[in-house]
């Protein structure tokens, strides 16, 4: 019979989660209020759906939604399958030493901060002094166009630098799943004359499918959640038409000097997480129906 001491162990985590997760959840009500600093969250006056209506009617609405969704979907389409392919390929390769090196090196960028990643992008793509600028000039004799001044380049820079940073790390979970594949399956298939590629397709790939399904559910359930940090850091006046997404807009409306419209910003944020939540439930339902793999 467990003792009271175990409950003592639960105190720090429970207190933390109630204060830092549940109290802000209760604070969401200001989306339906006209938040007044002096009256506080509970004292401010209710105004119903006004903040939401204001957002739907605003001229940025379509652009924001489009930027957010297109960036997420583009990112998902690239960053979901590539780590799987990478893991399959790495797992099936024979040179153990080479495999280890590729694996260790590919993890490294995961540990680099977003600020440094964006800083490196800025430096490396500098037309004159950056490595890619210099290489471009070396091969073509022309000056590289400034990537950060071009709205059309924003999404590509965002997504592909994300691949550079994450491909190794995201593949760990699949490599782990692949390591539990029964060797006998491979041996039996080999005796039946299956080629390496066939074995990857018919043995390795199906064995990581459940893991991949879970990862896909989580990714789709996060589709409206484009990373604030990286977008914010990559943003400038020149690419803002493509780089303003809901999360950066919420920050600007709510917290930058001169605005401070807390209720309006919360309403936008709530609208965003609501779409996310609905997507998560829908995808989970579909996954359960079609493949028996689901989050709950």
Query: Binding to another protein (CB under 8 A): which residues in 180-209?
Result: 180, 195-197
Q: Is 259 in the site for another protein (CB under 8 A)?
A: no
In the list 30, 147, 245, 287, the residue contacting another protein (rule: CB under 8 A) is 30
Residue 95 within binding range of another protein, rule CB under 8 A: yes
Q: Give the one residue of 65, 69, 124, 275 binding another protein; rule: CB under 8 A.
A: 124
Q: Which of residues 237-256 bind another protein (CB under 8 A)?
A: 247, 250-251, 254-255
Q: Does 46 sit near another protein (CB under 8 A)?
A: no
Question: For another protein, which is the closer residue by CB, 216 or 233?
Answer: 233
E-strand ranges in 121-180 read none
Number of residues that bind another protein (CB under 8 A): 95
For the chain, state the CA radius of gyration. Answer: 24
Name 3's Cβ contacts closer than 8 Å, sequence gap at least 6: none
Mark the segment that binds another protein (CB under 8 A) among 26-34, 49-57, 62-70, 72-80. 26-34
Binding of another protein by 282 (CB under 8 A): no
Number of alpha carbons in the 13 Å side-chain half-sphere of residue 176: 9
What single DSSP character describes residue 202?
A: I
CB of 102 to another protein, least distance (A): 5
Q: Does 23 bind another protein (CB under 8 A)?
A: yes
Q: Which residues pair with 11 in a beta bridge?
A: none
> Buried b vs exposed e over 181-200: b needs ≥16 C-beta within 10 Å?
beeeebeebeeeebeeeebb
What residues between 142 and 161 interact with another protein by CB under 8 A?
Answer: none
Of positions 55, 86, 154, 158, contacts another protein by CB under 8 A: 86
Which is closer to another protein, CB of 59 or CB of 111?
111
Pick 58 or 207: Cβ nearer another protein: 207
Instruction: Restricting to residues 54-83, name those near another protein by CB under 8 A.
Output: none
Query: What sign for the dihedral angle of Cα 89, 72, 234, 141?
Result: positive
Cα separation values, 6 from 10, 15, 121, Å: 7, 15, 49
Q: Is 162 in the site for another protein (CB under 8 A)?
A: no
Whole-number minimum distance, CB 86 to another protein, in Å?
7
Stretch that binds another protein, among 23-31, 44-52, 58-66, 149-157 (CB under 8 A): 23-31
Region of 46-54, 57-65, 71-79, 270-278 interacting with another protein (CB under 8 A):
270-278
Contact 181, 173 (CB under 8 A): no
Q: Does 219 bind another protein (CB under 8 A)?
A: no
> Cβ neighbours of residue 259 under 8 Å, at least 6 residues apart?
252, 253
Burial readout 44-63 (b: 16 or more C-beta within 10 A, e: otherwise): beeeeebbbeebeeeeeeeb
The first and second tokens of residue 146, run together, are: 């400034």
């Amino acid at each position: 019979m467990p003792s009271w001491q175990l409950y003592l162990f639960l105190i720090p985590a429970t207190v933390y989660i109630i204060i830092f997760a549940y109290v802000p959840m209760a604070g969401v009500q200001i989306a339906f209020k006209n938040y007044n600093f002096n009256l506080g969250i509970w004292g401010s006056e209710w105004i119903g759906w006004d903040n939401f209506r204001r957002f739907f009617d605003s001229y940025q609405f379509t652009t924001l939604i489009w930027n957010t969704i297109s960036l997420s979907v583009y990112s998902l389409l690239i960053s979901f399958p590539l780590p799987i392919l990478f893991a399959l390929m790495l797992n099936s390769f024979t040179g153990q030493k080479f495999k280890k090196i590729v694996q260790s090196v590919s993890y490294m960028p995961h540990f680099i901060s977003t600020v440094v990643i964006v800083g490196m992008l800025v430096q490396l793509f500098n037309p004159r002094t950056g490595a890619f600028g210099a290489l471009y000039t070396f091969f073509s004799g022309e000056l590289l166009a400034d990537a950060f001044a071009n709205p059309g380049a924003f999404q590509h820079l965002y997504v592909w630098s994300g691949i550079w940073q994450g491909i190794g790390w995201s593949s760990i979970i699949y490599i782990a799943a692949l390591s539990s594949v029964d060797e006998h399956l491979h041996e039996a298939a080999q005796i039946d004359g299956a080629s390496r590629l066939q074995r990857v397709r018919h043995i390795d790939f199906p064995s990581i499918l459940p893991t991949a399904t879970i990862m896909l559910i989580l990714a789709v359930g996060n589709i409206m959640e484009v990373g604030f940090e990286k977008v914010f850091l990559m943003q400038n006046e020149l690419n803002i038409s493509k780089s303003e997404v809901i999360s950066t807009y919420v920050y600007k409306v709510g917290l930058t000097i001169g605005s401070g419209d807390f209720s309006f910003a919360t309403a936008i944020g709530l609208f965003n997480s609501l779409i996310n939540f609905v997507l998560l439930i829908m995808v989970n339902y579909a996954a359960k129906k079609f493949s028996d793999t689901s989050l709950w």
